[in-house]
Amino acid sequence: MKAAVFLGLLYFLHRDGTVVGSQDTVLTDRPIIGVLAQEQSYYLHTKYPDENYTSYIAASYVKDVEAAGARVVPIMIGRDRNYYEDIMERLNGYPFYGVQFHPEKSSFEWKASKNYPSSRNAVKANRYFMDFFVDECRKSAHAFASAAEENEYVIYNHEPHFTGVLGSAYHQCYLFEPRGTKVVNALKLHD
């Protein structure tokens, strides 16, 4: 029974051509991976009280994906189901992998009090995990309709902030959606 449930789940997750052919099959040389934003921390909120940001992504996550040869699309929080279904159909980052540590920290985070290992071996281990992940994502046939559409979504539309100097655990963060922005923009559309 467990095997049937597992195979059913595997089929559901991969049914749209996500994994096709042999292990050596590469379907895209232009992978785009979604990184889920996190709810803004109270600490960072106090550092940007006027902007009142609602979410963020640590730039180290973005840099790590880019170093492995992929681009990033931020996946915003607090959206409706249609948003998530739509964005997942366009991203190559369908596989979900987890590790018990943050391998990106060794290459991209430098807070002395955290004592992240940045030895050559720690960086090599980071590359192993991220290169493996991006290679798995390359097997997905999902894609945006055009390069113009990709450009509307990629993280390059946002600027990272140097949050390490403010005492954050992350040296840089992408900060998103100041509260009230959606309401103001929606009101402008109806004028």
Supply the CATH classification number for the domain 27-190: 3.40.50.880
Indicate if the pLDDT at residue 15 is higher than 60. no
**How many angstroms separate the CA atoms of 38 and 55, rounded?**
5
Inter-residue contact 91 to 73 (CB < 8 Å): yes
Return the higher-pLDDT residue of 178 and 76: 76
CA 50, 48, 151, 28 dihedral sign is negative
DSSP state of 39: E
Over the stretch 117-176, which tens digit does the pLDDT of each residue have? 889 998 998 999 999 999 999 999 999 999 999 999 999 999 999 999 999 989 999 999
Structure tokens at 59: 């730039």
Angle of CA points 177, 155, 38, to nearest 5°: 50
Which residue's structure tokens are 């709810």?
A: 39
Instruction: List 175's β-bridge partners, or say none.
Output: 56
- Dump pLDDT digits (tens) for 78-121: 999 999 999 999 999 887 878 888 888 888 888 888 888 889 99
> How high is the pLDDT of residue 191?
42
Task: Determine the angle formed by the axes of helices 120-137 and 59-67, rounding to 10 degrees.
Answer: 70
At 62-79, the pLDDT tens digits run 999 999 999 999 999 999
Look up tokens 């100097």; give the residue.
165
pTM for this structure? 0.77
